[in-house]
Amino acid sequence: MPKEGILKKREVDKMTNLENYVQAFCETLEVSEEQLTGLKYQDVPLWDSVGHMNLIARLEEVFDIMMDTDDIIDFSSFEKGKEILGNNYDVVF
Amino acid sequence: MITGKNIVITGALQGIGKETVKVFAENGANIFACAYEEQQDFIDFCGELEKENHVRVIPVFFDMSDNDSIKKGIKEIQKEKMEIHGLVNVAGINKDALFSMITQRDMEESFQINVFSQIILSQYIVRLMRKNNTEGSIVFTSSVTAMDGNRGQTTYGASKAALIGAMKSMALELGEIGIRVNAVAPGVIMSPMTQKLDRDVIDKKLEVMDIPRLGTTTEVANVYMYLMSDYASHVTGQTFRVDGGMR
């Protein structure tokens, strides 16, 4: 087992990353956790273009990242978002 | 008018942008002064404004022709964890050439810096504003050339007209979240850009102005200040000519 000190910060935080991700969705889009699986852009009233911007702003704040426009456009669902954050921004879920 | 607001200003190294930094600092705003080239004189200028006005004037360096560089600059701003209230886009380039001498390369460079980068930068700034649900203001710097035309400025005028088009659509989309978007269209202003003009060209311009003198960078900065302030709280989607009544 590697010592905690040599783990990347985001790996250390991995127990809370999913919670933070879920919380960002629930609070920004005003949905329950049960609604998140399979949730897609424009499935709920608050996930419109403005809601999308709010969601991205919240995720950037939570994970201390600045996302590329292409990734923001590709961020089309709850699952796709996790994939993008994991692959392109080293957020470990 | 703008005391306590935190505002990002681009093109801050010289001319209208530099004067806007000065005017805003003197009026109590904290500023991210964005310039394309790290220069000690400019860093000193920001430091002096901080001391004299008891505000923060943070120099940020990035290249508007490079999207990765813009992103790096935004990360510098983000690192300060300050609520952002506004963006004044002053950065721009002017590639004068008569119509038959315009090159594809010059057109691409002009549109990259005068239009594309300003929209990209605005996207980032709006996201910073949304972190705090801030109701803010964005101002673009267009030009009277966008509306009136000018010999040798086909590319410049086209890029500045494109900014007005972008501004109007952004105003429509961002109004519902309380972000106002406007443009300022300077006429002939005393700045490093106009110093390159022939005296004859300037004299011809003065003949068609109600106020027959060159404008000052301060006069443009004052209009930005109004648009950044809450006095303009119901003003969006507009282009303000600062041209001494040019006809």
- The domain locations on chain A are 4-89
Q: Which of residues 52-71 of B touch A (CB under 8 A)?
A: 71
pLDDT-based confidence at B179, cuts 50/70/90? very high
Catalytic, B156? Answer yes
Indicate the CATH number for domain B6-242: 3.40.50.720
Do A68 and B130 make contact, defined as CB atoms within 8 angstroms?
Answer: no
Closest partner residue to A56 (CB to CB) among B78, B120, B127 is B127
Residue B75, both tokens: 């990360």
CATH architecture, range A4-89: Orthogonal Bundle (1.10)
- First CA to last CA across chain A, in angstroms? 19
Which residues from B are below 8 Å from A50, CB to CB?
A: 173, 176-177
Report pLDDT digits (tens) over A6-58.
445 555 555 689 999 999 999 999 999 999 999 999 999 999 988 998 999 99
* Complex-level ipTM: 0.73
Q: Are B44 and B18 in contact (CB under 8 A)?
A: no
- The pLDDT value recorded for residue A11 is 55
Do A49 and B71 make contact, defined as CB atoms within 8 angstroms?
Answer: no
- For chain B, what percent of residues have pLDDT higher than 90? 83
Buried b (16+ CB within 10 A) or exposed e, B85-105: bbbbbbbbbbbbeeeeebeee
- The pLDDT value recorded for residue A9 is 53
pLDDT-based confidence at B151, cuts 50/70/90? confident
Closest CA to B220 of B178, B196, B179, B191: B191
Q: Where are the domains of chain B?
A: 6-242
